[in-house]
Structures are given as structure tokens and as C-alpha cells.
Amino acid sequence: MMRQAGRYLPEYQEVRAKADFLTICRTPELAAEVTLQPVHRLGVDGAVIFSDILLVLEAMGLPVRFEEKAGPQFDCCVRSKGDVANLQTEAVAERLRYVAEAITLCRKELAGRGVPVIGFAGAPWTLACYALEGKTTREFLVARRALYEDAALLEALMGKIAEATAAHLIAQMEAGATVLQLFESWGGSLGCEEYACYALPALQAVIARVQKARGAREVPVIVYCNGSAAHLHTLSKCGAEGISVDWRLPLDEVRRRVGPEIAIQGNLDPAALYGSPEQVVDRTQAMLGRHSGPGLIANLGHGILPDVPVENAAAFVRAVQTWQNPGA
């Protein structure tokens, strides 16, 4: 699940009562502790490292604050070529060493259990949106305006972000991450052709660097895109081994659009975890039944919501783990 180690778990709230969000991220012991909570509580088949996609921007020189309700806020935004030039790409992985250390701690805790540790980062277009907007917005108009008014600035910005992001992902792999995810949270804000022309090349650059550093190791790369309905064919060319999708399209339609070669991850509407556990099981089985054959990683279509009952999250996990694929 996305945001798997997070707000819906009471044991996470206990840790949060003692430490704020960024302190947990930056303290390997705490980050590892909350990362492992859903493995212990729900028996999920993977541990998603507790971290945030915006930490790469902070390591590049854009400090971020996380405030309750207001969401992430940057004090300075990128506005000019000079601002892009000032962004640092050297030593980003070193400044984010605490993420790698948390991953290594999780690997030790999980030794012999066969549970992969999943590292992640933000995709370049999505991080560029934050760097340009300074916060989460509904339409990312500053970033879209930059694309139409000064595409060279946007491309330079995404190029530097791609470099820093690849370094961060490679460091997570070296520390023991056995799956790497890239989050294109705001891919849905762009038109199909603008995504293919501007966002895709920067995403491909990250993946190519990671795969080169990976060599023969089996560390698959998965790209999540929210609002992906217009972009699935484009995303199928990004080079990743898996595409993770939101809940708008059923999985058979997703499969038709990405082709037979790529693993699909998804895609229950996070709001479908409301209702009774029995309803959650029915909806999860219906979702799984839309995909035939191998190559599916069951997941939500976006982050788990903070007030979902834990028993409903458990019902989702149980429905997946007991699923008998009729097509297998």
C-alpha cells in the first residue's frame, strides 16, 4: 500500500506523539520502526521505507516544512535560471544518508523473511511542480505556465532533479532496497503530448541511470502515476519494469494500454477501504479479477487514507493474499 507506514496505524500515532514527521524521516531507528509496523501488524508482502519524495529537493537546497493540514511548504521556489543553477546535485545521496541507513536497518530486521524493502523517490516532473509552486496546488498552474512560457527553464530544472533523484535511488539500492519506486504524483496535470515531450525524457533519464548502476542485480523499478489514464501508453515506454496506476481505469483496460511486457501495480480506490471489511474483500476481489495472468502487484490506487479502520486495511491484505487467480 502507498503510505503503508502511516497515519491509519495507532502504533504509528504513538511514535508521532514523540517525534514530528521530519524527525522520524531523519532518524533511521524511528523510520525503520514505523516502516516495519505494517509488516508486523498486517503481514504485507513488502516494506515501504518511511520517507518523503520532497527530501530530495531539500537536499538540493530547497528547505521544506511539513505543517499539519497545510501540507508541505517551501520557503523559496525556483523562478529563474539562476535559481536552477544554485540547486545542488553533488552529495545529495550523502545528505540523505539517513534514508539509506533506515533501509539497512529494515533489511537486518527482515533477514530471512523474504519481505522486500521498497525504496522510492519523486519523478522529475512532480518534483519540478513542487520546486516551482512551493506547495501542493490543485492545478499546478505555475509549473504548467513554465512549460508553455519557458520550457528551457523547466527542462534544466528537471535535468538537475533527475540527476539528484537517480543518485538517491542508487544509494537506496546499495543500502539494500530490493525494489525502487518513482512517484509521478502530478503526471495527470499535463496533456498527453506535453507529458511525452517534457516529463517522459526526464523520467527515462532517472531510470536509465538506476538500471546502469543496478547491473545484474534483481532490483525492479516501478513508476506510479496518478491520473494516468491519458498517459499509460507513454508510461509503457519509460523503461521501468512495472507501472503503478490510480483507480480510474479497471486493470484489464490498463493491461490493454501498457501491453503484455510490463508488470502492473494497483489499483483499488483508497476510498473503497471505507465500509465494512466484507465490502472491502468484495471490492478487492473484483479489482483483482479484472486482471488475468501474471504480472500484477496488488495495491491501492493512491495513498491509504488516515482514518481508514485498521481492520479494513487488514481485510484488503487478506483478500489479496488468499486470492486464487482463476486465469492462472
C-beta closer to its own copies: residue 159 or 250 = 250
Catalytic residue status for 3:
yes
Q: What is 15-70 written as a DSSP string?
A: HHHHS-HHHHHH-HHHHHHHHHHHHHHH--S-EE----TTHHHHHHT--EEEETTT
**Min dist. Cβ of residue 319 to its own copies (A):** 15
C-beta closer to its own copies: residue 40 or 145 = 145
Catalytic residue status for 52:
yes
d(CA 261, CA 312): 32
In Å, how far from its chain's centre is CA 294? 22
Among 48-56, 174-182, 183-191, 202-210, which window interacts with its own copies (CB under 8 A)?
A: 183-191
Q: How far is CA 33 from CA 26, 37, 110, 169, in A?
A: 12, 6, 12, 21
State which amino acid sits at residue 169. Answer: L
Catalytic residue status for 16:
yes
**Min dist. Cβ of residue 11 to its own copies (A):** 24
- The three three-digit cell numbers of residue 68, written as one number: 499539519
d(CA 284, CA 278): 10
C-beta closer to its own copies: residue 39 or 132 = 132
Cα dihedral 203→204→210→214 (10° resolution): 150
# binding residues, its own copies (CB under 8 A): 31
Q: How many CB atoms lie within 10 A of CB 130?
A: 27
C-beta closer to its own copies: residue 61 or 275 = 275
Cα dihedral 162→242→254→282 (10° resolution): -120
**Min dist. Cβ of residue 103 to its own copies (A):** 30
Q: Does 168 bind its own copies (CB under 8 A)?
A: no
Catalytic residue status for 256:
no
C-beta closer to its own copies: residue 109 or 282 = 282
Which of 8, 12, 26, 52 is flagged as catalytic?
52
The closest alpha carbon to 122, from 64, 38, 44, belongs to 64
Site string for its own copies, 109-148 (x = CB under 8 A): ---------------------------x-x--x--xx-xx
Site string for its own copies, 257-296 (x = CB under 8 A): ------------x-xx-xx---x---x-------------
d(CA 212, CA 216): 9
Identify the residue among 76, 91, 152, 192 touching its own copies (CB under 8 A).
Answer: 192
Active site residues: 3, 7, 16, 52, 130
Contact set with its own copies (CB under 8 A): 136, 138, 141, 144-145, 147-149, 188, 190-194, 227, 229-230, 247-250, 253, 269, 271-272, 274-275, 279, 283, 301, 305
